[in-house]
Amino acid sequence: MKKVLILGVNGFIGHHLSKRILETTDWEVYGMDMQTERLGDLLDHPRMHFFEGDITINKEWVEYHVKKCDVILPLVAIATPSTYVKQPLRVFELDFEANLPIVRSAAKYGKHLVFPSTSEV
């Protein structure tokens, strides 16, 4: 059984993808986010393993799960046009710099990485 790590699991892509994976496969989904409002009944699914946290703080949890999972999806990003204009450095720090260690860990452990874009590209 495959294990998928979705960081930013409560976001638009993350919660739709989690729902689809749980409905159509036998895969385990490991997800991290700072919020849960979009996840609803997915939190009670037996193959959904959610951790409320922040990739910039809970680095050990992230590293452990990158090593443990087969596929990594780093979906943590700011995708709000007004924030891009008002706080471009904050956006760069989260969207690029905070995700870079995750990409490096995936390469280190030979994991499959699916790296998305944002609406602002």
pTM listed for this prediction? 0.91
- pLDDT tens sequence across 20-63: 999 999 999 999 999 999 999 899 999 999 999 999 999 999 99
Greater model confidence, 58 or 95:
58
Query: Considering Cα of 116, then 5, then 44, then 53, what sign does the dihedral take?
Result: negative
Domains of the chain with bracketed CATH: 3-113 (3.40.50.720)
Which pLDDT does position 119 carry in this prediction? 61
Does residue 120 register a pLDDT over 80? no
Nearest to 114 by CA among 53, 58, 57, 73: 73
